[in-house]
Structure 1
């Protein structure tokens, strides 16, 4: 498995960032590789685009500490991953989000993509897209226009 560690600072209060992250059904709105996510009891069912192909997997939330951390692991399907995201108060309206993700590339194309840094780049892009999404929908920096 490959460990990816990335972080981003968002200009919204910690509780806002945490609550938006918990809305996994919204991930396709800002994560380019996520096609859909559906809740199925204790699991979430993911459809993702990886190296030009679609993969499906089920994930289980393994730990929740409100306003602090969420951990998960894939439990079935074509994707093997586990991760944790933590939320750190920087200021009243600023939060640092730190993501650790263990992924195991499947197949030759995914291994090549991982070796070339495409997986890291996707995680970085997804975190920055989350930043833009949560700031646009929940206020963002002072004076920034809000999304309708």
Structure 2
């Protein structure tokens, strides 16, 4: 498994960022490749994803450690992906959003295609960084 950690500081209160992460239906606005996202019952969400010219539907399980402002998720089926969003209050109107992603590069390549090895890791890092910047824009302009 490979692990990637990235963060972005956003100009909104921690509650605003936390609530935005929980609006699954908004994911297509800031997560590359997500065409549609739906909340389901009991902490589940369904994501329709297109990447590498391939479309896939994934079910994810979401769980919160609300007192710690950590939202964890994992795919159930498809490539094994697990991750978390951690929020840290930096000030009244400033929040750090950190993502931690664990993935099997071979399984991601098998599911979506694309390059092998280092080139694939660079592509995943670039996508995650871009998603965080898109989240920043989304959350700062949704107020």
> What's the TM-score, normalizing by structure 1?
0.84
Q: How far does residue 108 in structure 1 lie from its aligned partner after superposition?
A: 8.2
Partner of 1:31: 31
3-state SS of 1:61 partner = strand
3-state SS of 1:95 partner = strand
Partner of 2:71: 70
Partner of 2:118: 115
Distance 1:66 1:98 in 2: 16
Q: 1:24 to 1:113 in 2, by over 3 A?
A: farther
Q: 1:60 to 1:109 in 2, by over 3 A?
A: closer
1:92 aligns with 2:92: yes
5 Å matches for 1:103-142? 103-104=103-104, 105-107=108-110, 110=113, 112=115, 115-116=118-119, 117-138=122-143
Say how many residue pairs are matched. 137
**Aligned 8 A contact 2:73 2:82 in 1:** yes
**Aligned 8 A contact 1:58 1:74 in 2:** yes
Q: 1:54 to 1:72 in 2, by over 3 A?
A: same
Q: 1:113 to 1:38 in 2, by over 3 A?
A: farther
**Aligned 8 A contact 1:18 1:67 in 2:** no
Computed over aligned residues only, the root mean square deviation of the Cα atoms, in angstroms, reads: 1.9
Moved over 4 A (4+): none
Q: How far does residue 8 in structure 1 lie from its aligned partner after superposition?
A: 0.1
Distance 2:89 2:97 in 1: 9
5 Å matches for 1:54-69? 54-66=55-67, 68-69=69-70
Distance 1:34 1:119 in 2: 15
**Aligned 8 A contact 1:51 1:113 in 2:** no
Gaps of 5+ in 2: none
